[in-house]
Structure 1
Amino acid sequence: MAFLVPWGLTSSALAADSPQSGGTMIFLVQPEPPSLALYASSSGPIEQIGTKIYEGLLEVDAKLQPAPGLASEYSIADDGLSATFKLRKGVKWHDGEPLTSADVQFSFMEVLKKLHPRASISLKNLVSVDTPDDATVVMKFSAATPYLARVLSGKDTPIVPKHLMAGKDLKNLDLANRPVGTGPYKFVEWRRGQFVLLEKNQDYWREGLPRPDRLVGRFIADAATRVAALENSEVHLAALGAIPAIEAKRLDALPYLNMSTEGYGSLSSISLLEFNTKVHPFDKKEVRQAVSHVIDREYIVQNIFQGFGTPAKSCLSSQFSAIGINPGDLPNYPRKQDLARAAELLDAAGLKPDASGIRAEVVHDIIPYGEEWRRLGEYIKQALEQVGIRVTLRYEDAATWTRRLYTEYDFQFSSTYHYHLIDPVLGAHRFFLSSSIKPGVPYVNVTRFSNEKVDKLLEQAMVELDREKRAGLYHEFQAIIADEMPSLHIHDMQFATVSNTVVMEHSTSGLGPYGPWYDLWIKAA
């Protein structure tokens, strides 16, 4: 299948500034996802495609507030121990079957709580889902869940079809690669190494939507080719680092392309290194601390990520300052490189340089998400060699990288980034809790760091309603992680979207490129 500009830019008799229906919007997905099992993964590429197919009970609006989704209305009890949702009438799965409360019950109790890396934590206190009738859902909790309404989007807790999943091996479903949802777009085809094709759901419950006839997610492994495809209008939109930052700034100067940082407010993205705390030499915290003193966070932000972001000050996103959680002054988070302190820490760990000056040899597994990460890997290699740590870089495809880290634990340290989202419970807890050490489950506690005090603090913060007390719990947690440093946080990230000027309304959701895109439209040429 060829993707040509005229296919996407259809003519229309409507005014150029009025929403128009029809056409095909082609967007980059980098890298190609290992599956489309949105219900069992928080992988960015899976979410970028899956959120157009699946939906949640609620959505996230442009102001990062909960908005109606599959549930037309809801109420949460004052004590936070129960919540009632009324489902919309007439919603159908893409195979024509009706959505019912039984699907919601199955999704939460049998799938999300058991398989999803974020939901298994955010829904920890969910004890039951009752279904008084086909349109009513009543959730009951063992403790207050103050963040509940913020975790019910299709991105975080997608509702799945019980009639296609019940009684089957949920980890080995055909549905993982041929998804069936209720969302604005239906899955049509996945050609490995090329594209995923979605088409308009003609029976979508939002009248007159979605507007495009098709969405095409293109997979282009080479960064220069991705840039050229956008520049030549072979694709219409690139988000989430698909275009290197330095190129995004250049493309923004072209009259037919726009760069925007809107739509990312809910992500609270943070880059980091994750250490395998069970293997030499990163089984000693002094070595992990030393790495933090070797890297120059300010240099990384300005020279590798082209000024998109700010140096990290703790293990939590700085965006949480809006809810009273501030890092303060923490040890082991220097903005500038401190080689002398790094050498002291390595000596204290017993890593003395040999006759050739080498203290240790390690392998750095680079997240396979683009050129900035390769450049970060090269920088870290050069930086660590200044203190006698020889680094070998390994760059593999996404499926191999994911399996190596999260199933086999066959790594020493890896670069990555996390979404902390709009509350630490939703995005950050899973990377530090002992209960989140789950072999085979991606994007959880891969460092295998386990600390009873941390577990207790996070469990208390999960249910604490008092803002100041909750902030205090997180401050204590941050101090422990700054000392133990199972993961080394580098910078608070800022993504940019580069789009053709014909693509309209692509960031109206608080989820930006992870939004459902039902109101996106293509302006006639």
Structure 2
Amino acid sequence: MKLIPRLLGAAAFAASAMSAAPVMAEGGTLVIVSNQTPRHMNGGVQSGIATAVPSTQIFASPLRYDENWEPQPYLAESWSVSDDGMSVTLNLVQDATFHDGQPITSEDVAFSIMTTKENHPFKSMFAPVESIDTPDAHTAVINLSQPHPALLLALSPALAPIMPKHIYGDGQDVKSHPRNTTDVVGSGPFMLEEFTPAEATILKKNPDFFIEGRPKLDEIIIRIVKDPSSMLIAMENGDADMYPFMAGSQEIRRLKEADHLEVTDEGYAAVGPLNWLAFNTANEKLSDVRVRRAIAYAIDRDFITKALHRGVSQPQRGPIIESSPYFTADIETYDTDLERANALMAEAGYGDGMELTIDYIPGPKEQQQSIAEYMKSQLKKIGIDVTVRAAPDFPTWAGRVGGHDFEMTMDVVFNWGDPVIGVHRTYLCSNIREGVIWSNTQQYCNEEVDSLLNAAAVEQDQEKRKALYAEFQQIIAQDVPIYYINATPYHTAYDKRLINPPKGIWGAMHPMDMIEWSE
């Protein structure tokens, strides 16, 4: 396995953390393995696991959440929601500073939330935010155009990193700002020491973190390992200490057999990860809903979850994860029916067949590439000749899909706790944004869907909100911009000597300031 020179020279690593993980009451190094390369470190303008894991260590947010879905103080020591739900007041801690020593003020909070609103793929997340008042240096009042039930959850670390205005407010495009990758300044428990794309991210302890006694660790190293087998070997041999977002059935079962490791599915409650096949509805062939329905009827969801995934995955039938109170089973689920699929293809004028390409996210083979290859053989049964198109790395895949340069693609998309945050972005007409991954990359637009989602976003009555989302799901099931396959079975493997592993609702996309090594 390749190790970059900087890793070989790291203090705990040099003494061959390759043979044993550090065991200390205080300090030490945590080595995390991942197969996803981050574009940069700024979660305010970029979604996804690759960015969120380091971003939540580098940047602090107004709130953080406990394992019971309850908001907890972070940069905001307290907060209040107005009686009419039209404003939220954040009272900031007094002594927090950025990594460069500059104090954090309400101006930074206002700048960050408005910047995230304008640049983040989740356009609906802060859409109701009209303005932010800053009556003093430690008070920020978020003014809304309408009630926003998901706002407090949206102020979580992975979604609302507070950026220093004195750096990112210099007039440069924040999405391509050079300080997203080098000399990154946040106020979180760790500081960026080194970022080597496709190899490793090294984070050092912030000695001036505003929460006393934290972080417990001296260093976090996120190693990028493209080969899945090498990731498993690293965990088994003690070369790495944590493997989050593990989804392969063989990986899960294999690491469960390692005596020094714990494997858990806790830590993904708010993530709501869906594995699906997306259609580019602007494509000439796929713009016909009959073709999309035919493909849906041709796929065997049960075969994928039971055979390809060896029973580890649970079937997913709609746009809202089935563990959510907003999911409804009263929808067309497209159980396999090849006769009906062939009839739809003939009705659409493709009785003699057609050609399509399918892309997939590189890395998690069982959840992505294996299904894409299965699609190739299965869709042949209804006359569709599928070309499976590989990408050399995640940025290449993201560029194709975000740029609408695809016909069909496998994808993993998160619900992010509340539909307003993670579901709306995929279906709103206003969120068709070329070049932005995990927006409405399907280019799907239905004004009735927009109306339902906009109403659900402000509805305070839980039962009425459920009814709105049920109607939305029924329409999506008929329009089929996406064929839903399974809930991604994320697990985390970690060294048993770790105290406070990431089992909260955001898992590893949360500050790791409380993780430490037992003696």
Q: TM-score, normalised by structure 1?
A: 0.93
Aligned residue in 1 for 2:185: 180
Judge conservation of contact 2:21–2:238 (CA < 8 Å) in 1. no
Q: CA deviation at 1:34?
A: 1.9
Aligned equivalent of 2:362, options 353, 360, 368:
368
Amino acid corresponding to residue 177 of structure 1 in structure 2: T
Do structure 1's residue 200 and structure 2's residue 196 form an aligned pair?
no
Aligned residue in 2 for 1:147: 150
Amino acid corresponding to residue 345 of structure 1 in structure 2: L
5 Å-filtered alignment, 1:418-429, equals 418-429=413-424
* Structure 1 counterpart SS, 2:31: strand
Do structure 1's residue 169 and structure 2's residue 173 form an aligned pair?
yes
Query: How many percent of aligned residue pairs carry the same amino acid?
Result: 32
* Structure 1 counterpart SS, 2:274: strand
d(CA) in 2 for partners of 1:216 and 1:514? 15
Do structure 1's residue 215 and structure 2's residue 210 form an aligned pair?
no
5 Å-filtered alignment, 1:228-307, equals 228-241=233-246, 244-307=248-311
d(CA) in 2 for partners of 1:499 and 1:117? 31
Do structure 1's residue 500 and structure 2's residue 486 form an aligned pair?
no
* Structure 1 counterpart SS, 2:166: helix
d(CA) in 2 for partners of 1:65 and 1:494? 24
* Structure 2 counterpart SS, 1:342: helix
Tell me, which stretches of 5 or more residues in structure 2 are unaligned?
Answer: 1-6
Aligned residue in 2 for 1:386: 381
Aligned residue in 1 for 2:33: 28
Judge conservation of contact 1:29–1:217 (CA < 8 Å) in 2. yes
Q: CA deviation at 1:327?
A: 1.6
Amino acid corresponding to residue 130 of structure 2 in structure 1: V
For residues 310-346 of structure 1, give each alpha carbon's deviation from its aligned partner in whole angstroms, at most 9, with x where no partner exists.
211222111222xxx2322312432xx3211211211
Judge conservation of contact 1:366–1:377 (CA < 8 Å) in 2. yes
Q: CA deviation at 1:7?
A: 9.0
Aligned residue in 2 for 1:17: none
Amino acid corresponding to residue 184 of structure 1 in structure 2: P
Aligned residue in 2 for 1:348: 347
Q: CA deviation at 1:465?
A: 1.1
d(CA) in 2 for partners of 1:250 and 1:9? 20
Q: CA deviation at 1:492?
A: 2.0
Aligned residue in 2 for 1:47: 52
More moved, 85-94 vs 276-285 = 276-285
Aligned equivalent of 1:403, options 381, 399, 418:
399
For residues 214-265 of structure 1, give each alpha carbon's deviation from its aligned partner in whole angstroms, at most 9, with x where no partner exists.
0000001111111111111111111113x63212212111211111001111
1:94–1:129 CA distance, 2 compared to 1 (3 A): same
Q: CA deviation at 1:54?
A: 1.0
Tell me, which stretches of 5 or more residues in structure 1 are unaligned?
Answer: 13-19, 354-358
Displacement over 3 Å in runs of 4+:
6-12
Aligned residue in 2 for 1:472: 467
More moved, 501-510 vs 454-463 = 501-510
Q: CA deviation at 1:8?
A: 7.0
Judge conservation of contact 2:268–2:504 (CA < 8 Å) in 1. no
Kindly report the root-mean-square deviation, in angstroms, between the aligned alpha carbons of the 2 structures.
Answer: 1.5
Aligned residue in 2 for 1:446: 441
Judge conservation of contact 1:64–1:265 (CA < 8 Å) in 2. no
1:165–1:326 CA distance, 2 compared to 1 (3 A): closer
Aligned residue in 1 for 2:4: none
Q: CA deviation at 1:508?
A: 4.4
* Structure 2 counterpart SS, 1:514: coil
d(CA) in 1 for partners of 2:454 and 2:85? 16
* Structure 1 counterpart SS, 2:292: helix
Aligned residue in 2 for 1:318: 322
1:316–1:333 CA distance, 2 compared to 1 (3 A): farther
Judge conservation of contact 1:65–1:150 (CA < 8 Å) in 2. no
* Structure 2 counterpart SS, 1:333: coil
* Structure 1 counterpart SS, 2:174: coil
Aligned residue in 2 for 1:160: 163
Q: TM-score, normalised by structure 2?
A: 0.94
* Structure 1 counterpart SS, 2:50: helix
More moved, 214-223 vs 467-476 = 467-476
Amino acid corresponding to residue 146 of structure 1 in structure 2: P
More moved, 216-225 vs 307-316 = 307-316
d(CA) in 2 for partners of 1:449 and 1:189? 40
d(CA) in 2 for partners of 1:259 and 1:508? 11
d(CA) in 2 for partners of 1:444 and 1:10? 41
d(CA) in 2 for partners of 1:508 and 1:74? 25
Judge conservation of contact 1:315–1:488 (CA < 8 Å) in 2. no
d(CA) in 2 for partners of 1:172 and 1:427? 23
Q: CA deviation at 1:116?
A: 0.8
* Structure 2 counterpart SS, 1:38: coil
* Structure 1 counterpart SS, 2:69: coil
d(CA) in 1 for partners of 2:254 and 2:416? 29
Amino acid corresponding to residue 257 of structure 1 in structure 2: L
d(CA) in 2 for partners of 1:402 and 1:490? 20
d(CA) in 1 for partners of 2:468 and 2:198? 46
Aligned residue in 1 for 2:102: 97
* Structure 2 counterpart SS, 1:415: strand
Judge conservation of contact 2:194–2:203 (CA < 8 Å) in 1. yes
d(CA) in 2 for partners of 1:33 and 1:295? 32
Q: CA deviation at 1:29?
A: 2.0
Amino acid corresponding to residue 446 of structure 1 in structure 2: T
d(CA) in 2 for partners of 1:153 and 1:310? 27
For residues 55-97 of structure 1, give each alpha carbon's deviation from its aligned partner in whole angstroms, at most 9, with x where no partner exists.
2100111112211111000000111001111101111111111
Judge conservation of contact 2:106–2:137 (CA < 8 Å) in 1. yes
Amino acid corresponding to residue 406 of structure 1 in structure 2: G
Judge conservation of contact 2:19–2:237 (CA < 8 Å) in 1. no
d(CA) in 2 for partners of 1:504 and 1:294? 47
* Structure 2 counterpart SS, 1:364: strand
Do structure 1's residue 483 and structure 2's residue 478 form an aligned pair?
yes
For residues 346-374 of structure 1, give each alpha carbon's deviation from its aligned partner in whole angstroms, at most 9, with x where no partner exists.
11211112xxxxx1111111112322111
